[in-house]
Structure 1
Amino acid sequence: MDDRQRYDLATAALDPPFAVLDLAALHANAADLVRRAGGKPIRVASKSIRSRAVLERVLGMPGFHGVLAFTLPEALWLVSTGVRDIVVAYPTVDRQALARLAGDARAAREITVMVDSTDHLDFIESAVSEVANRQEIRICMDIDAGFVALGGRFRAGALRSPIREPEDAVDLATDLAKRPGLRLVGLMAYEAQIAGVGDDPPGSAAFAKAIRVMQGRSARELIVRRGRIVNAVRQICDLEFVNGGGTGSIEKTVREKAVTEVAAGSGFFHPRLFDFYRGFTGRPAALFALPVVRRPALDVVTVLGGGYPASGTPGANRLPQPYLPAGLTYSADEGAGEVQTPLLGQAAQDLRIGDRVWFRHAKAGEMCERFASLHLIEDDRVVEEVPTYRGEGKTFL
């Protein structure tokens, strides 16, 4: 029985649209992430999962420890449900959430917030200045891991932190050490140009080679610079962790002695954008089904919904992939529509009104913002339905 038959059989009693998670694929992907990490712990990026039940399932597997959250309100909520050791990966300017953090001993013990400037430190101190019985706030410093060449005329990597050199990090760490109630406990440096960019993209072989050359040079530069930064900051304070990498770079990042843990998120669901790496091959685990509601022509069907583009630079690669049955494509004139989506191809000839078309999202957790629950599939049956963040009434971003 192929995957399409399994999924159709497992969900025969459900009316689409709905989303599923193939547990065998999830576990296989998780095991491969652990293998690639070579014994270093993996911190789970919650933005790529966005289901508390699935997050807890993953954290219960060997090799995974701690959460990399995307907002402070999310982290506070997760701690209130029993999740521990959460690093908020992005700076926060949520005054109410900061005040809640400073006033809650358990949350302050389990949550670490991100900064990359003295402005962040000033903001945090201002937000918590009136909190009674204020708790110490744990701080992580974000380091720019981007690759810069040609005298600054070329850059690859996310535009994140202004902290790039050891002296930048030392200055901020020194300032932070003078502020009562704030404690630097970790460093983070996310090499997006390696971890989040596939080194085997479809199309131009020359472009693929250029990506690999850039990534090789970037990795060599970063291993030296990140090590120097970590060593410099350790002269000022004790660090509990140094976080780096992501799904696409785990086996490279763990080679650095300075890095104590790596992050991963997309690798669990293995969305479409992660098909284009030479170093690993994942199994699509998260999918959504849309029903065929029209047949405009012999080789055309129309499904309900589908306009779920991923974040990032707009383009065809940000659209969901019509996955099963294979061979369906979008109409160049309509693409993925808000309410209806025409799909073209010979495979459409065998589809009838009410049949399902299975899609993969371009990214991982963003799919969960469209659905209230995930139907967990084992073999050819649904074994559990679990809520997404949206299904629990949480819309953090």
Structure 2
Amino acid sequence: MTDLDLSTPPVAAERTWRAPDVFWPSLSAATARLDPPLGVLHLPALRHNAHDMLRRAGGKPIRVASKSVRVRSVLDAVLALPGYAGVLAYTLPEALWLAEGDAEHPPIGDVVVGYPTADRAAIARLARSPELAARVTLMVDSLAHLDLIDAVVPPGQRETVRLCLELDSSWLAPVLGHVGVYRSPIHSVASARELAEAIAKRPGFALVGMMGYEAQIAGQGDNPPGKPAWGATLRWMQKNSRDELLSRRGEAVAAVRRVADLEFVNGGGTGSLEFTSSDPSVTEIAAGSGLFGGHLFDTYRAFHPAPAASFALSVVRRPNPETATLLGGGWIASGPPGPDRMPSLEWPTGLSMVGREMAGEVQTPVTGAAASVLRIGDRVWLRHTKSGELSEHLDGFHLVDTVDGRARVVGEVATYRGDGRVFL
């Protein structure tokens, strides 16, 4: 374990990512004795992103979305910053691991599971532990979720289970139809109130929170390169969706508060920190992707995270004078298949993937002016589309910081994978 201190924003001289011809060669020099594939966390960039997210949140606390990090030491370091509070986990087994703590990491006392669970063994562990039941909150959007929990451990034989009701934050547009992600069936104010009332009547449960993730706003870049008309359409959609959600979410939260004494109302994401902060019905914002700064955010107009997380691959072949082949590279992001789900080639500049191969699991050919001068053993720097998904391909990240004016490796932190944890 390496202790991380993110308390101080980087000084101007450390913001080298603003000069790519300085930033990427400095990473190559700092990691010259390490063999790719390797992942790097640039600490000045990580500190910048952590503090910039707090600025954008406008004073509302940020609950860290662990799916977008998957590095326990980074979660601990971010939670040590005033303004960050609690974790939004993605599975119940992960939440229990975070809430238990271990010799190297303190237990996290407030973990909300962002998705409903059907993991019976994990439910049983939660329900029979006073400590875990007090620290972990389960997501529900249906009485069927309560029925499953009751079937695993009946109310009289367990601790009270904390629940969070998820409100569907998608937009039912007049012409476009459903815009957003398919998550909760609870869309209307009436359905939210009805489910809250039904939960209140069930023994063994406590409704303590509400959540709504506006994916069509937070997770959709509004400035796609080379597509001005589509960008204008996206901005129109997002404005109308914001207006609709601001009204409906406020009414739904008020209706549920008349039934239950809510401890929190969660919303948002890295891409919508400003909007979600402006919603008076929301008490906290979920965000995490902006910490590592995947290249997904290169298509947003309102903010530009620093490239805190990146990875390097080695050139292992020269099939012809115009082409260099990298070992590995098929680290494809989840979501609709397309070029924007592939890693971005960052350095050297001027590289592109081959249309018929693109990023392959074992090899990735690259072409372009820079490819002609790459030699066997040279490295190429890439960024993942998402943020936390990169952690699934690495046992750990090398930490690079500025020491005596130069980028140097100062430590290493394990990913979930490096800790022997795979939750999905």
Name the TM-score class by shorter chain: over 0.9
Cα displacement (A) at 1:297: 2.1
**Cα distance in 1 for residues equivalent to 2:153 and 2:214:** 32
Specify which of 124, 134, 138 is matched with residue 109 of structure 1: 134
User: Who is 2:22 aligned against?
Assistant: 2
User: Who is 2:168 aligned against?
Assistant: 144
> Do 2:156 and 2:204's aligned partners in 1 also have CA atoms closer than 8 Å?
no
**Cα distance in 1 for residues equivalent to 2:148 and 2:79:** 32
Q: How does 1:177-256 map to 2 (within 5 A)?
A: 177-256=200-279
Compared with structure 1, are the counterparts of its residues 289 and 131 closer, same or farther at alpha carbon in structure 2 (3 Å cutoff)?
farther
Deviates more, 1:370-379 or 1:69-78: 370-379
Which AA in structure 2 matches 1:89?
G
Secondary structure at the aligned position of 2:418 is classed as helix
User: Who is 2:412 aligned against?
Assistant: 385
User: Who is 2:293 aligned against?
Assistant: 270
Could you list the runs of 5+ residues in structure 2 that have no partner in the other structure?
A: 1-20, 102-106
> Do 1:29 and 1:283's aligned partners in 2 also have CA atoms closer than 8 Å?
yes
> Do 1:29 and 1:267's aligned partners in 2 also have CA atoms closer than 8 Å?
yes
User: Who is 1:395 aligned against?
Assistant: 422
Deviations 1:318-365 (A, max 9, x none): 001111111111001111111111011101123211111011001110
Which AA in structure 2 matches 1:195?
A
**Cα distance in 1 for residues equivalent to 2:79 and 2:261:** 26
Deviates more, 1:122-131 or 1:212-221: 122-131
Cα displacement (A) at 1:298: 2.2
Cα displacement (A) at 1:130: 8.5
Give me the CA root mean square deviation: 1.2
Which AA in structure 1 matches 2:171?
F
**Cα distance in 1 for residues equivalent to 2:286 and 2:223:** 22
Cα displacement (A) at 1:368: 0.6
Secondary structure at the aligned position of 2:411 is classed as strand
Which AA in structure 1 matches 2:46?
L
Q: How does 1:1-397 map to 2 (within 5 A)?
A: 2-81=22-101, 82-129=107-154, 132=157, 134-150=158-174, 154-379=177-402, 380-397=407-424
Tell me the TM-score normalised to structure 2 length. 0.91
Compared with structure 1, are the counterparts of its residues 275 and 109 closer, same or farther at alpha carbon in structure 2 (3 Å cutoff)?
same
**Cα distance in 2 for residues equivalent to 1:327 and 1:94:** 47
Deviations 1:78-118 (A, max 9, x none): 11111220000000000010010011111111100000011
Compared with structure 1, are the counterparts of its residues 338 and 131 closer, same or farther at alpha carbon in structure 2 (3 Å cutoff)?
farther
**Cα distance in 2 for residues equivalent to 1:68 and 1:183:** 18
Aligned residue pairs total 395
Which AA in structure 2 matches 1:73?
P
Deviations 1:246-283 (A, max 9, x none): 00000011111100000111100110111111111111
**Cα distance in 1 for residues equivalent to 2:305 and 2:185:** 34
Identical pairs, percent? 54
**Cα distance in 2 for residues equivalent to 1:308 and 1:256:** 36
**Cα distance in 1 for residues equivalent to 2:192 and 2:156:** 29
Deviations 1:178-229 (A, max 9, x none): 1111000000010000000011111221110010000000000000000000
Compared with structure 1, are the counterparts of its residues 80 and 131 closer, same or farther at alpha carbon in structure 2 (3 Å cutoff)?
farther
Once superposed, which parts of structure 1, at least 4 consecutive aligned residues long, lie more than 3 Å away?
none
> Do 2:155 and 2:204's aligned partners in 1 also have CA atoms closer than 8 Å?
no
**Cα distance in 2 for residues equivalent to 1:98 and 1:311:** 27
**Cα distance in 2 for residues equivalent to 1:130 and 1:194:** 39
Could you list the runs of 5+ residues in structure 1 that have no partner in the other structure?
A: none
> Do 1:103 and 1:131's aligned partners in 2 also have CA atoms closer than 8 Å?
no
> Do 1:99 and 1:131's aligned partners in 2 also have CA atoms closer than 8 Å?
no
**Cα distance in 1 for residues equivalent to 2:411 and 2:160:** 40
**Cα distance in 2 for residues equivalent to 1:374 and 1:280:** 25
Secondary structure at the aligned position of 1:66 is classed as strand
Deviations 1:107-154 (A, max 9, x none): 11110000001111111111122985x211100000000011227x61
**Cα distance in 1 for residues equivalent to 2:414 and 2:79:** 17
Which AA in structure 1 matches 2:32?
A
